[in-house]
Every structure is written in structure tokens, then in C-alpha cells.
Amino acid sequence: MSIFSTLRSRQFANRQNQAKQQIIAFRLFEEWFAVPILAVYKVIPLGKIYGDPGNKGISFTNYDDKELLVIDVAKYIFSGLTNSNSPETKTTDDNRADLQAFEAMELRYLIILEDQNTNLVGLPIDSQPVMYRVEQSAFKALPQIYLEKTNIQYISSQIIEIPETPVMFFLDTEKLTKSVITAENLEAS
């Protein structure tokens, strides 16, 4: 004897069988980004950041009685953009006071990522991070023309669409940490 199921229970079973991935989502300026939770070592309130004399977006902070490399991910993601929300235009003399007021008003956080070699790197973010369990169907490919015409760096070719939330760009954390660390090592040589 066969067992019959309703359409609703079959749809529920299909959703239950679909692979899910956990992500950490956060805001940088006006856009939302996400990283896989497996790349995240820890999230902490952003403390004092030291040194960046060349304004390259590389500095450090103290974490767990050690110096932790901090990458200003917004500077790298939005490099070369002429958007009014990009770091380059936000930090003009006219807007510097607005930026300082925003930073004082809203608590910022540091996402500590762990790369494949167990190196820790911090990424300062503008909002409290949010964790989501996302079905694989929520990951969508960015249009090819968008990838060719924009200068957004370190974004994978995917976005994440979750109902009732803004679209999130999925960061390629390995590419970000490798290219920044490699570039710093080349400049130091």
C-alpha cells in the first residue's frame, strides 16, 4: 500500500532536504555583505585601531594579548568607485564631521576571520552582524555585465536573496585576505 502525501507536506519535505549554509551578514555604508560562518573565528566590539600611516586600509588592534591585522574591508571593496557612499567621498573635509558623528552614534564591530593557515584577520563593520541559515536556492549569480562593468572588489559572483531582507553581496574572504597580505608582503620586500 502506498502512502499519499499532500502537496504541502511534499513542499515541506523538499525544503527540509535542501542544503543550508550559515552566513554572517553585516552592513558597510549602504550595502549588505555576507561571509560564510565557517570563515568566522569570532565577532567582537571594535576597539582601538592603530596605525595606517599610508592610508592603505591596513592597521592593527590588540586582541587576546596579540597584535591582530585589521583590513578596512570597505576601502578594498569600494576602491575606485565614485559612489557618494564610498569611503573616499565620505571622508572629504565637508563630510568628515558627519562620519565621526555616525561612528560615535553606532557601535561598530570587528569580524575576526580565520584563513586556511589559521591566521586571524579582523574586518571592521558598520552594523551588528546577523546570522542566517540560508538555503542554497537563495544564492543567485550576479549578472555577467554587472561583474564586467563595476569595480567592486573581493565579491564572489553571487548575491544572497532572502525574503524581507536587503540583497547581500557574498564576500570572497580567501581572495580578500590573500591579496591584501600578499600585496603587503610585496611592498615590504
Q: In the chain, what are the domain boundaries?
A: 19-188
pLDDT for res 73: 85
Nearest-angstrom CA–CA distance, 11 and 175? 37
The model scores a pTM over 0.85: no
117 versus 66: the higher-pLDDT residue is 66
3 state DSSP class of 169:
strand
Q: Is the pLDDT assigned to residue 80 strictly greater than 60?
A: no
Give whole-number Cα distances, 5 to 1, 14, 16, 17, 23, in Å.
13, 12, 15, 16, 33
**pLDDT class for 63, splitting at 50, 70, 90?**
very high
pLDDT tens per residue across span 110-149: 999 987 777 899 999 988 999 999 999 999 988 888 877 7
Q: Tell me the CA end-to-end span of the chain in Å, nearest whole number.
A: 74
